[in-house]
């Protein structure tokens, strides 16, 4: 059955479908970046809430600013914005059709600004990736020199970036006397709400200080921690949805059955009652974000690069490899978890055990290639802050230095069997020569200032990095991981 509204009644009985009246939903949230994660996570929480009969004035409107978003919009338009989410439980797969999105704004910045001027839109949420926030590696502040920011500052009435678009929309709302929307980041970065605020205010300040102050004082940017491993969709997933559930869906999503969402309750224009469907509201999200970014995302980074170098395909292959699994466990316990302050009611040991189980789920089929993506933006968010804290506290860093060295070794562009590795990163043209040069001159890699910032001048780190990278080249990945675990 080709998925659309008219097909809902005919779907196989084992497929769950919206049990509420979609035609009666009205928009409340505009989401920028309709990739897989948003559709598996926030949109599913909203569907659960709508099922309870509540808050039907908080439906989602999709939006995007990149060419790829037009393709997603076209696929979803042909399906009345419906799509399938398959949860990959090793005990058995389950499928639901999600209907919490009711429209998708045309992918054009000024159309998006118009849509954002609608008072019904009270929340703008974002998944625009870790690299989408214009954070300066050296200072952690706003990267005002970035060409995209300079361009939007020069033409604030014709913005191209997400933050330029949000700025112009906020200006329109202020002028019209409409209360500002709340900006809710759902990306994986430390203090994601703070980063969104810094970028929105920082860009506004480049052309209008008073306007920037007004955003800073009147717009809320709650921090949030989001979690649900959501791999990319390929032909394999589309075929599975057709074969197993009888649905022809051009844009299905698969994800693990685990979901977590911890949010700061800072929504002056109101919010859906997400606490009814499992979202945790806490006063301070930062410790939860650090737990997740360091243990889970830092853990993904730890297994990604050695696995690529060893020629492994999936995350569950990595967890089935005794050397990689032991390395992850040792690194987490010795160096990552000790950097985290305790959270009342949260057991880090249990959290790690759950993550090891989740990484090992063979149904998820998360690829090592996906985990290797975008190291340029991910290492500074997932790995380097842990390293900085460990250095400050004078704690061990050999494993964290090895984690960075594995990335550098991967960037040399060849696995241990001599097969070429295609470096999946927007900055591959810089990373590849740096990774090659680092074989004889480790400092050449740390000289990537936008990534390493002041860490490149910390001798404890540079020495440990050089030692671990040297060992990777001379003894190989396995022996180096084993040496660390023994040590
Ligand atoms: P995806 O590739 O399916 O979608 C990425 C989306 O981000 C697309 O809509 C793309 O157009 C947009 N985008 C990318 N760079 C942008 C930029 N600079 N400005 C504006 N838009 C931009 O990826 P995904 O799986 O949906 O993941 C997106 C983000 O969600 C991740 O980067 C992460 O921060 C967060 N997240 C993902 C997962 C996961 O398991 N996939 C888990 C937790 C959090």
Q: Which tens digits make up the pLDDT trace of 56-87?
A: 999 999 999 999 999 999 999 999 999 999 99
pLDDT over threshold 90, residue 138: no
Q: Tell me which residue has tokens 């569950």.
A: 316
d(CA 79, ligand 1 centre) in Å: 22
Predicted pLDDT of residue 137: 80
pLDDT-based confidence at residue 389 (cuts at 50, 70, 90): very high
List ligand 1's pocket residues with C-beta within 6 A: 33-38, 64-66, 68-69, 127-130, 132, 162, 187-188, 226-230
Instruction: Tell me which of 30, 33, 372 to substitute to probe ligand 1's pocket, judged by most ligand atoms within 8 Å of the beta carbon.
Output: 33
Q: Is 255 helix (H, G, I), strand (E, B) or coil?
A: strand
Q: Which residues are CB-neighbours of 277 under 8 A, at least 6 positions away?
A: 45, 48, 49, 52
Ligand 1 atom closest to Cα of 132?
18
Residue nearest to atom 37 of ligand 1 (CA): 37
Consecutive H or E run containing 111: helix 109-116
CA distances to 22, 211, 289, 361, 469 from 343, rounded to whole Å, are 40, 38, 11, 27, 35
d(CA 322, ligand 1 centre) in Å: 31
Work out the mean pLDDT of the chain and round it to a whole number: 97
Predicted pLDDT of residue 361: 96
List the strands of the sheet with 123-126, edge to edge. Answer: 101-104, 59-63, 27-32, 123-126, 182-185
Predicted pLDDT of residue 365: 87
d(CA 226, ligand 1 centre) in Å: 12
Instruction: Tell me which of 63, 83, 129, 380 to substitute to probe ligand 1's pocket, judged by most ligand atoms within 8 Å of the beta carbon.
Output: 129
Residue nearest to atom 39 of ligand 1 (CA): 230
d(CA 42, ligand 1 centre) in Å: 13
User: In the numeric block, which tokens belong to residue 76?
Assistant: 């979803």
pLDDT over threshold 90, residue 342: yes
How far is Cα 9 from Cα 114, in angstroms, rounded to an integer?
35
ipTM for the whole complex: 0.99
Residue 281 CA to its chain's centroid (Å): 20
Q: What is the pLDDT of residues 26-60, one digit of tens each?
A: 999 999 999 999 999 999 999 999 999 999 999 99
Predicted pLDDT of residue 190: 87
User: In the numeric block, which tokens belong to residue 196?
Assistant: 């969104």
Consecutive H or E run containing 448: none
d(CA 34, ligand 1 centre) in Å: 8
Instruction: Tell me which of 30, 36, 37 to substitute to probe ligand 1's pocket, judged by most ligand atoms within 8 Å of the beta carbon.
Output: 37
Predicted pLDDT of residue 89: 95
Consecutive H or E run containing 471: helix 459-475
Q: Are 182 and 219 in contact (CB under 8 A)?
A: yes
Q: Tell me which residue has tokens 């704004």.
A: 105
Q: Which residues are CB-neighbours of 61 under 8 A, at least 6 positions away?
A: 27, 29, 30, 31, 101, 102, 103, 104, 105, 115, 121
Residue 483 CA to its chain's centroid (Å): 32
In sequence order, what DSSP letters do the residues of 134-160 get, joined into one string?
-B-TTTSSB-TT-HHHHHHHH-TTS--
How far is Cα 246 from Cα 240, in angstroms, rounded to an integer?
9
Classify residue 312 by its DSSP letter.
Answer: -
CA distances to 195, 223, 359, 361 from 296, rounded to whole Å, are 20, 18, 9, 14
B/e letters for 123-141, b = 16+ CB within 10 Å, e = fewer, are: bbbbbbbbbbbbbbbeeee
Angle at 69 between CA 66 and CA 75, to 5 degrees: 160
d(CA 372, ligand 1 centre) in Å: 14
pLDDT over threshold 90, residue 301: yes
How far is Cα 24 from Cα 346, in angstroms, rounded to an integer?
40
């Amino acid at each position: 059955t080709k998925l659309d509204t008219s097909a809902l009644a005919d779907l196989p009985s084992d497929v769950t479908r919206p049990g509420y009246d979609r035609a009666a939903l009205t928009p409340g949230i505009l989401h920028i970046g309709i990739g897989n994660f948003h559709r598996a996570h926030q949109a599913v929480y909203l569907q659960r809430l709508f099922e309870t009969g509540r808050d039907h004035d908080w439906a989602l409107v999709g939006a995007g600013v990149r060419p790829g978003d037009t393709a997603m919009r076209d696929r979803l338009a042909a399906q009345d914005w419906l799509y399938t989410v398959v949860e990959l439980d090793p005990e058995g797969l389950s499928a639901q059709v999600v209907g919490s999105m009711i429209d998708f704004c045309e992918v054009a910045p000024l159309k998006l600004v118009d849509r954002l001027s609608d008072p019904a839109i009270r929340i703008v949420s974002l998944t625009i990736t870790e690299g989408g926030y214009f954070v300066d590696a050296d200072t952690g502040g706003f990267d005002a020199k970035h060409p995209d920011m300079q361009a939007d500052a020069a033409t604030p009435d014709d913005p191209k970036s997400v933050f330029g678009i949000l700025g112009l929309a906020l200006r329109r709302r202020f002028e019209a006397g409409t209360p500002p929307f709340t900006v809710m980041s759902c990306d994986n970065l430390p203090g994601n709400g703070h980063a969104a605020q810094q970028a929105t205010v920082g860009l506004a300040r480049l052309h209008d200080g008073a306007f920037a102050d007004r955003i800073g004082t009147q717009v809320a940017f709650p921090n949030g921690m989001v979690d649900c491993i959501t791999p990319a969709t390929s032909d394999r997933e589309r075929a599975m949805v057709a074969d197993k559930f009888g649905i022809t869906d051009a844009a299905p999503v698969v994800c693990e059955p685990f979901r977590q969402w911890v949010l700061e309750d800072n929504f002056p224009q109101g919010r859906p009652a997400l606490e009814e469907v499992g979202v945790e509201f806490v006063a301070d999200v930062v410790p939860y974000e650090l737990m997740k970014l360091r243990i889970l995302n830092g853990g993904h980074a730890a297994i990604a690069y050695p696995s690529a170098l060893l020629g492994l395909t999936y995350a569950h292959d990595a967890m089935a490899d005794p050397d990689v699994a032991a390395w992850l466990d040792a690194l987490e316990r010795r160096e990552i978890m000790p950097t985290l302050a305790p959270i009342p009611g949260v057991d880090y040991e249990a959290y790690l055990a759950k993550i090891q189980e989740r990484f090992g789920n063979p149904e998820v089929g998360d690829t090592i290639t996906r985990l290797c993506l975008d190291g340029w933006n991910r290492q500074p968010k997932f790995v380097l802050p842990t390293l900085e804290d460990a250095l400050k506290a004078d704690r061990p860093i050999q494993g964290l230095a090895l984690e960075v060295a594995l990335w550098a070794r991967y960037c040399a562009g060849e696995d241990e069997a001599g097969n070429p590795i295609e470096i999946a990163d927007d900055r591959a043209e810089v990373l590849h020569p740096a990774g090659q040069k680092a074989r004889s001159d480790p400092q050449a890699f740390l000289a990537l200032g936008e990534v390493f910032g002041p860490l490149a001048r910390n001798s404890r780190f540079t020495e440990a990095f050089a030692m671990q990278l040297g060992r990777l080249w001379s003894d190989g990945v396995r022996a180096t991981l084993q040496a660390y675990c023994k040590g």
